[in-house]
Structure 1
Amino acid sequence: MAEKELSSLLQQLHHSLSSHNYSSSKQLLSRAKLALLQINALVPTSESSQTHLVRAREVLELGALISIRLQDPESFTRYFQQLQLFYSLPEDRLPREGGNASKITGLYLLLLLSQGDYAGFHTLLEGLEVAEGKKRLEKDAFIQYPIRLEQALMEGSYDRVWGETKGERVPSEEFGVFSEVLIHTIRSEIASCSERAYPSLPIANAKNLLFLDSEGSVLKFAQSRGWSARDGRIYFPQQEQEMMLGEKDILVTSGTVIENTLGYARELETIV
């Protein structure tokens, strides 16, 4: 009875994911996990059949992907952790074919980047290199995407990060969710550093610096940060007093300027 119900629930979960209709997905996932418990398959054991292991992995992977669509990183992390018990099983017990280990793992790497957890990122990546082999990972689009982003972040090449998060370079829709979170994190960091490095910026230049698509977006972002705008410029409250000493200006034309801005602000932090 539980197995028949599980098959029906899996069909409904796949439809929920493909149709972007997640209104009942949490309830469906709860019922699916209960069905797995009833057949003793929610956690792999030595007695678990391959069929049950495949079904359990499928439920948990659907849960992880739906959690991303619902923008619930905590739930996604829990599903990722549960899946490690299945991903660590040998091939003869649970074949890789039919699973989404690469995609789920790549998404988790991207989540770690968006949270600024570089230590966790490298720990996971080193474990993957040992388990999978570096050459195999180099051919994996889902794993290489967060690796490219991390390399650009380490180089301070935020324009490259921006480029990677747009268009065909994003390996799937789910990656776009965490990519947006990552861009928001970077934008906030650039904004914080700019506040410490400059008394004001022209609105047009702030648009390029913050990777915003219009001057209207700049004004909206400025309002959210408590910045003031007048005469075509953005003024940073904690730096306005410097205006009495003369303007420092900036022309944003490339990622080099962004890197210099962040570097200068971080140097100020270490001095203070």
Structure 2
Amino acid sequence: MSLASSFSSLQSSFDSNDLASVGQQLPAIKVLLTQHNLLYPSGSSNSEQDLIVARSILEIGAFYSIRSAKIPAFERYMAQLDAFYSTPLLPPSPSHPTLLSLHLLSLLSTSRTSAFHTLLETLPVQLLSADGVREIIELERGLMEGSYNKVWRMAKGLMDKDGGKGLGGLAELLVGSIRNEISLSFLTSYTSLPIPSAQQLLFLPSPSEVVAFAQKKGWTISPSSQTIFFPTPSALGGAGVGAAAESGGMKGLIEESLGYARELEAIV
């Protein structure tokens, strides 16, 4: 099968959101790219149209990887695409800002803040202000400030308007990381918390999900008083105490968040 017909079939599967078919076709079409010397943009041997097709194939591979929660594969595609995005041989790709925002969010959601800032430093000004990219930069600022209410609202917005791009899954992964950080601070800040307070602090949609989260952490739950009891420092052991102590500075943040939640309740 020719490169053109293979690309047409891949594009059709991608447009219909048939991820299984996309995943099956990608290995063979990447072999074709290698055979046509199209894995790297070279103006000496390839036409502009061939290079645009190659770039589009790699972009589909990147979208497929992130939608399939294959972050390492996604990052390999982005590394390959970097040469296509930086070459003067090709016009800008309309998919570049979206994939860039996904790349930035994948770094945040896996706690690679240094790599996030390194990538930002390499970007031209017009990309920093592009839709999607600007939102992820604001999200990171919220994280650095410890403004978890702001981060949650922005992450929720990304989940709601995802449209199958993969942003929602990464945003949920980021929120999961934040929940774990907050839960560690509970161990040094409180001996117990009412389930409704824990629900607000952990950004969980229902009390039942708070209970499931607490059970996974091994916390004690009192159904009669609707209260979660946390392990004492002696019960945590040496490593647990150390991990929890690192989050002890968040006590003020938690108290502030609880006050904020109570004020919201009073307004409602």
Structure 1: 5+ residue stretches without partners: 242-247, 258-272
Structure 2: 5+ residue stretches without partners: 236-250, 264-268
Structure 2 counterpart of 1:20, one-letter code: N
Deviations 1:174-217 (A, max 9, x none): 21121111111111111112122211111010000000000000
Q: What is the aligned partner in structure 1 of residue 22 from structure 2?
A: 25
Structure 1 counterpart of 2:16, one-letter code: S
Question: Partners of 2:131 and 2:113 in 1: how far apart?
Answer: 20
Counterparts of residues 67-86 of structure 1 (less than 5 Å): 67-86=65-84
Deviation at 1:18, TM superposition (A): 3.4
2:210 is aligned with 1:233: no
Query: TM-score under structure 2 normalisation?
Result: 0.81
Question: Partners of 2:261 and 2:108 in 1: how far apart?
Answer: 19
Q: What is the aligned partner in structure 1 of residue 108 from structure 2?
A: 113
Deviation at 1:220, TM superposition (A): 0.6
2:54 is aligned with 1:48: no
Question: Partners of 2:19 and 2:231 in 1: how far apart?
Answer: 42
Change (3 A) 1:148 1:235: same
Structure 2 counterpart of 1:236, one-letter code: F
Count of residue pairs brought into register by the alignment: 240
2:223 is aligned with 1:210: no
Deviation at 1:12, TM superposition (A): 3.1
Q: What is the aligned partner in structure 2 of residue 269 from structure 1?
A: none
Question: Partners of 1:217 and 1:196 in 2: how far apart?
Answer: 22
Question: Partners of 2:138 and 2:262 in 1: how far apart?
Answer: 18
Structure 1 counterpart of 2:260, one-letter code: S
Counterparts of residues 153-172 of structure 1 (less than 5 Å): 153-167=143-157, 170=161
Q: What is the aligned partner in structure 1 of residue 11 from structure 2?
A: 14
Question: Partners of 1:9 and 1:252 in 2: how far apart?
Answer: 56
Secondary structure of the 1:43 match is coil
Change (3 A) 1:185 1:152: same
Counterparts of residues 95-244 of structure 1 (less than 5 Å): 95-96=91-92, 98-128=93-123, 132-133=124-125, 136-137=126-127, 139-167=129-157, 170=161, 173-230=165-222, 231-239=225-233
Q: What is the aligned partner in structure 2 of residue 265 from structure 1?
A: none
Change (3 A) 1:158 1:50: same
Structure 2 counterpart of 1:30, one-letter code: P
Q: 2:199, 2:210 within 8 Å by CA — same for their partners in 1?
A: yes
Structure 1 segments, 4+ long, off by >4 Å, are 168-172, 248-251
Deviations 1:207-261 (A, max 9, x none): 00000000000001111111111131111123597xxxxxx9968243899xxxx
Q: 2:39, 2:80 within 8 Å by CA — same for their partners in 1?
A: no
Structure 2 counterpart of 1:35, one-letter code: L
Cα RMSD after superposing both structures: 2.6
Q: 1:16, 1:25 within 8 Å by CA — same for their partners in 2?
A: yes
Q: 1:102, 1:143 within 8 Å by CA — same for their partners in 2?
A: yes
